[in-house]
Structure 1
Amino acid sequence: MGLVVLVLVFAAPLLQVLLVNRSPWGGPDLVTLAVVWLALARGPVWGCVAGLVAGLAADVTPPADGTVGRTALVLSIVGLLVGHWREGRPFPVAAAGAAMGVLLQAAAAVALGDASWTGVVPELPRTLGWTVALGAAVGAAVGAARARRRPRDPWPVPGRSAAEPRRV
């Protein structure tokens, strides 16, 4: 799992710059999606660390156009929150985390003076749509994988949750 984390954290910013940012129809924010996936799969600490490292990598990947650390701060917060919320339903948590990542990055760019609202708003709907759609797909995949790994109780008792221990 450690190698997968390392590849995701460092490959996502490169793929974002080399492929997605050059496409004429826009595309998702791959760095945000990588952080959301890691936070859903591994929890809040891994999500926060992955957000910090992937955000710093995205901040210094050419063409670096803004304040260094802006994306790292936003993605570490997103990773931490998505990791805390992951015990619920992963589908809406991943979609909300993806939306929060895109919107907070846009707000941070405007707040720090790296971009103006007139430069951010025209690209925001496409990026938000792509990222939320793929974030929801990632959440559904993580939820399905988690459901497969969860052991099923061979003798369910009505009125008792699956997390409650069986008394013999």
Structure 2
Amino acid sequence: MRFNRMLLSTTLVVVALVIQVSVLARLQLPGAVPDLLLLVVLGLAFVYGHMAGAFIGFGAGLLADLAPPADHAAGRYALVLCIIGYLAGLVRPENGQLRSATGPMVVVVAAAIGSTLLYAGVGALVGDTAARHVGLGSLLFTAAVYDLLLAPFTVPFIMALARRADNDPLAETKRGGGGGDVASGWLTSGTGLRIGNQRGGLRAKAARRQAVRAGRIKGVKRL
């Protein structure tokens, strides 16, 4: 199961990074660039939880920091996605299944705005003032809009893949631990019933034998 998680997470992160760098970044959209990598981290964190979300976010961010044409310090986006993945895992849906689209969409908007603010804040600490020249307000608005439009087509699909890859037959058997105990209880009670039936059968046979013997004795007396 752990291997399935690692393999699926790595594959999705690499594919998302390639699409983001080769396609989304070349669309020349005003303001921010749609962050497919962020949506992948959110989708996996919704299923795997906060610790896995933090690790996946760090790895995805580090790949984005090192992938060309990155023009910022390595580790900057890794820190941002690590925090976002951890926080998203804390508010993941129960059992990793979506019951309503409202909650995840709110998380997507908050993650888009939060990641942009964190990225700009870390950049300000290291002397990168590019966000000031572009306009932080415009970046926040466009990042939220682009990610919100892209999320319905990506996040549910990623969550479905994550749940499917995490489906372990042995784990399902253990997970039905309550069911296993119930099943064992049913088996135990069934065994008791069978034993009780056998005992009842033996008693009935003994009663019949006594009745037959009594009948024979009565018959002899009649003679």
Instruction: Using structure 1 for the length normalisation, give the TM-score.
Output: 0.72
The answer on whether the counterparts of 1:55 and 1:72 sit within 8 Å (CA) in structure 2 is yes
Partner of 2:37: 31
Deviation at 1:98, TM superposition (A): 3.1
Partner of 2:133: 118
Deviation at 1:36, TM superposition (A): 0.9
What is the RMSD of the two structures over their aligned residues, measured on CA atoms? 2.7
Partner of 1:45: 51
1-structure distance, mates of 2:149, 2:23:
18
The answer on whether the counterparts of 1:52 and 1:76 sit within 8 Å (CA) in structure 2 is yes
SS of equivalent residue, structure 2 residue 26: coil
Greater per-residue helix proportion:
2
Structure 1: 5+ residue stretches without partners = 146-168
Structure 2: 5+ residue stretches without partners = 95-102, 161-223
**The structure with more radius of gyration:** 2
Partner of 2:12: 8
Alpha carbons of structure 1 residues 138 and 93: separation in structure 2 relative to 1, 3 Å: farther
Deviation at 1:101, TM superposition (A): 1.9
Deviation at 1:39, TM superposition (A): 0.7
Partner of 2:143: 127
Tell me the percent identity: 34
Partner of 2:24: 20
2-structure distance, mates of 1:137, 1:91:
12
Partner of 1:151: none
The number of residue pairs the alignment matches comes to 145
